[in-house]
Amino acid sequence: MIVTGEDGDVLQFTDYIKHSLKLRALRQGYKPTVKSSANFVRTELARAIREGPYNVYVITGGVDAAGPQLYYMDYLGTMGEDNFCVQGYSMYFLLSVMSEYWKPDMTKQDAMDLIRHCIDALGRRFLLQPTKFTASFIYQSQTEKEFIDYVPKSIDPTKQQLPNM
């Protein structure tokens, strides 16, 4: 689960969700599915609107008997399921790149190429240019991290150039 937002809300919400899911697993005697966990998170976000809302945005996913699943939620409890997601301001730049270059059954190298396309598009279109990125690959039994150093390419300000992808 990836959670962004206000620091206090992120800390409190993730702690609450982690312990609540653990308690549910102990009470029910089995581990919840990815979909039921995502629905629990969504329900808690929606319920909190009326009491004390959390200003958090959540990406959650996993692999179970139903296969890989990815869900994204906003602070209002709105949930969507897709093969890829982008949250925050970068979604205005990266959803089109992800939509164009994502394909089923991608290899790790294909995924790294897609990530590099996204970083390049962000570097060309976004005001800030971060230079260090971390890509996490989540498998059924393990996770791997890849660290990416981005060197911005010089852009001629007199020409509107889009990346050649």
Cα-to-chain-centroid distance, residue 44: 19
50: number of Cβ within 10 Å: 7
What's residue 151's pLDDT?
79
Taking a C-beta distance cutoff of 8 angstroms, is the pair 17, 36 a contact? no
Helices (H) and strands (E) in the chain, counts: 4, 6
Reported pTM: 0.81
pLDDT digits (tens, 9 = 90+) for 9-38: 999 999 999 999 999 999 999 989 999 999
Kindly state the average pLDDT of the residues 115-122. 90
Domains of the chain, residue spans: 1-82, 86-165
CATH superfamily of 1-82: Aminohydrolase, N-terminal nucleophile (Ntn) domain (3.60.20.10)
pLDDT > 70: percent of the chain:
92
**Of 77-81, 98-102, 137-141, where does mean pLDDT reach its minimum?**
137-141
3 state DSSP class of 5: strand
User: Does 86-165 match 1-82 at the fold level?
Assistant: yes
According to CATH, the topology of domain 86-165 is Glutamine Phosphoribosylpyrophosphate, subunit 1, domain 1 (3.60.20)
- 65-98 per-position pLDDT tens digit: 888 899 999 999 999 999 999 988 888 889 999 9
Q: Mean pLDDT in the chain?
A: 88
Gap between the Cα atoms of 128 and 120, Å rounded: 12
Residues 6+ apart with CB under 8 A from 99: 84
At residue 143, the pLDDT reads 86
Confidence band, pLDDT 50/70/90 cuts, at residue 130: confident
